[in-house]
Amino acid sequence: MKKIAITGIGSVSPLGGTLEEAWSRYQQPDHCFEDRLENGKVFPVAPVTESEARIIDLLRNSDSKYGELDDSVLFALQASRRAVQMAGWKKGDHFGVNVGSSRGATGLFEKYHATYLNEGYAPTLSSPTTTLGNIASWVGHDLQADGPVISHSITCSTALHAVLNGFAWLHSGLTDKFLAGGSEAGLTPFTLAQMNSLKIYAKAGADYPCRALDLEKNRNTMVLGEGASMICMESDPHTIPLAYIAGIGYATERLKHNISISSDAKCFQRSMKKALGDLSPSEVDAIVMHAPGTIKGDLSEVRAIEAVFGKEKLPAITSNKWKIGHTFGASGTLSLELALLMLEKQEFVGVPFTENNTGPKKLERIMVNAVGFGGNAVSVLLETP
């Protein structure tokens, strides 16, 4: 397959709003979590930075139409503006948009539902502002994109599925530019209660509440974060790209229950093999894992990597969820952002509390993994330009 160039990236996250801020935070061994009290229980969470929250408020107040939008939409708007600015795209250019979200307008939905329960009516905009489709529609409107505008939800692999979709559109020749990524604003009372009911949420008070890639942990330690990350993809770039997408892979598993995944993550095995194509596994230098901080999720992905690459020749492995939490539908492109930074800086970012937290001195190819409920796995292989 023809390689697709990544020419821009923009984010809103607990790391900040610029690549410089993100890289600076990755150089520090601390995490981005704070404690939040909801319904009598303390949850560690990773909200966007205070400076980013102020920027989102300014965006909300910049247009009367934006005042009614959910944070998930506003995060996507801001991240998309930053991505296209880096890529040098102009308003009105012909490019496609695919923005994914696992939960969509969670905050607004809970707010409007509370109004209905308490006052017996639904506010006028309760339907259009909570449909998943409005997230990409507003991004397309804001950027005046003259191409396909698509929203979707494929749980936690949503953002990388958007990348796959953009990759396919570019290969089809129907467009030569595509904006893809994910956004999530799920730090809401009901969402936190849902995760807590699954018995996978971390306890507050630990030095590292999320123990992603700690394969010796004896309890689940997932922590929720929020944010958005969007990338600009081009089939015929006119500038030196940040990186190339050299391979893509995807797979699903048969469901045994709603959140099932096999003990050796067969979905990841198939997605990684597809992303490799004819490339030798030894040519992959590192993998940014999905690794949500759960016992089964982390271990099954490691076993899948061992099955594909061999226990004796494993690439360096890392994850960013120990630092920024699990951002659901945005997590895949935030992981991709980490991979792009490591390729640019030629420096591996490990997990500080694990034994093998160092990587190779030279990074040419990095694989990024994501998976959602039901075994929807995606693997994207990046390489230096």
Q: Residue 119: pLDDT band by 50, 70, 90 thresholds?
A: very high
Domain boundaries, the chain: 4-383
**Mean pLDDT of the chain, nearest integer:** 95
The whole-number pLDDT of residue 379 equals: 98
Q: The domain 4-383 is classified under which CATH number: 1.10.10.10, 3.40.50.300, 3.40.47.10, 3.40.1110.10?
A: 3.40.47.10
Residue 149 — φ and ψ, nearest 5°?
-125, 115
Q: What is the mean pLDDT of residues 159-172?
A: 97
Q: Residue 263: pLDDT band by 50, 70, 90 thresholds?
A: confident
Q: Residue 177: pLDDT band by 50, 70, 90 thresholds?
A: very high
The whole-number pLDDT of residue 66 equals: 97
Share of the chain above pLDDT 70, in %: 98
DSSP per-residue string spanning 340-361: HHHHHHT-----TTSS-----S
Q: Can you tell me the distance from the alpha carbon of 289 to that of 349, in angstroms, rounded to the nearest whole number?
A: 12
pLDDT tens digit sequence for 54-102 = 999 999 999 999 999 999 999 999 999 999 999 999 988 999 999 999 9
Q: Residue 374: pLDDT band by 50, 70, 90 thresholds?
A: confident
Q: How far from chain centre, in Å, is Cα 33?
A: 17
Q: What is the mean pLDDT of residues 336-350?
A: 98
Q: Can you tell me the distance from the alpha carbon of 174 to that of 170, in angstroms, rounded to the nearest whole number?
A: 7
Q: Can you tell me the distance from the alpha carbon of 298 to that of 335, in angstroms, rounded to the nearest whole number?
A: 15
Give the number of residues written for the chain. 385
Which of 316, 320, 310, 311 is CA-nearest to residue 362? Answer: 316
Q: How deeply is 355 buried, as exposed, middle or buried, from its count of CB atoms within 10 A (0-12, 13-18, 19+)?
A: exposed
The whole-number pLDDT of residue 373 equals: 79
Which of 336, 358, 362 is CA-nearest to residue 243? Answer: 336
Q: Residue 264: pLDDT band by 50, 70, 90 thresholds?
A: confident
H helical segments located in 173-213: 189-197
Q: How many CB atoms lie within 10 A of CB 117?
A: 8
Which of 245, 368, 180 is CA-nearest to residue 378? Answer: 368
CB crowding 16-51: b at 16 or more within 10 Å, else e: bbebebbbebbeeeebbbeebebeeeebbbbbbbee
